[in-house]
Amino acid sequence: MKNETRKLSDLAKTIRSKNAGTDKITFDIIFREKETYELVKRAKALTRERVSEVLGIDPSRITDFVMFDPANAIKFTIKRLRPSGYAGDPDIFGAQQYAPFLDIEVDLTV
């Protein structure tokens, strides 16, 4: 059987990032349908390891990683390299950090 994939941005209702205090950024990937959420979980398209790979960060910077079934959501939080608003901070609100997740390919055949 041929692998069939779709981009995460085509499957998720919401992909966002935002501040979680002054020293963390949190990410939310939310799905409309439970079936799509479960498919992404089965495909292991988003795991702690995959998040650290996509962001190019050490896995120790991931402070939380939750599959939140009641909301059909995958949520994770990372430590910032410097506090929000500190000299050299490229994204004070943490709102521009989600972009690398838009093009993640999800295997639909799992």
Q: Would you say domain 8-85+94-103 falls under CATH 3.30.70?
A: yes
**pLDDT at 109 > cutoff 80:** yes
Q: Mean pLDDT throughout 16-24? A: 95
pLDDT of residue 3: 75
pLDDT of residue 52: 97
Q: pLDDT digit string (tens) for 23-67?
A: 999 999 999 999 999 999 999 999 999 999 999 999 999 999 999
Q: Are 47 and 62 spatial neighbours (Cβ–Cβ below 8 Å)?
A: no
Q: Mean pLDDT throughout 72-101? A: 93
Domain edges within the chain:
8-85+94-103
Q: Are 105 and 6 spatial neighbours (Cβ–Cβ below 8 Å)?
A: yes
Q: How confident is the model at residue 89 (pLDDT cuts 50, 70, 90)?
A: confident
CA nearest neighbour of 29 among 54, 43, 46:
46
Q: Percent of the chain beyond pLDDT 70? A: 98
pLDDT of residue 1: 53
User: What is the reported pTM?
Assistant: 0.92
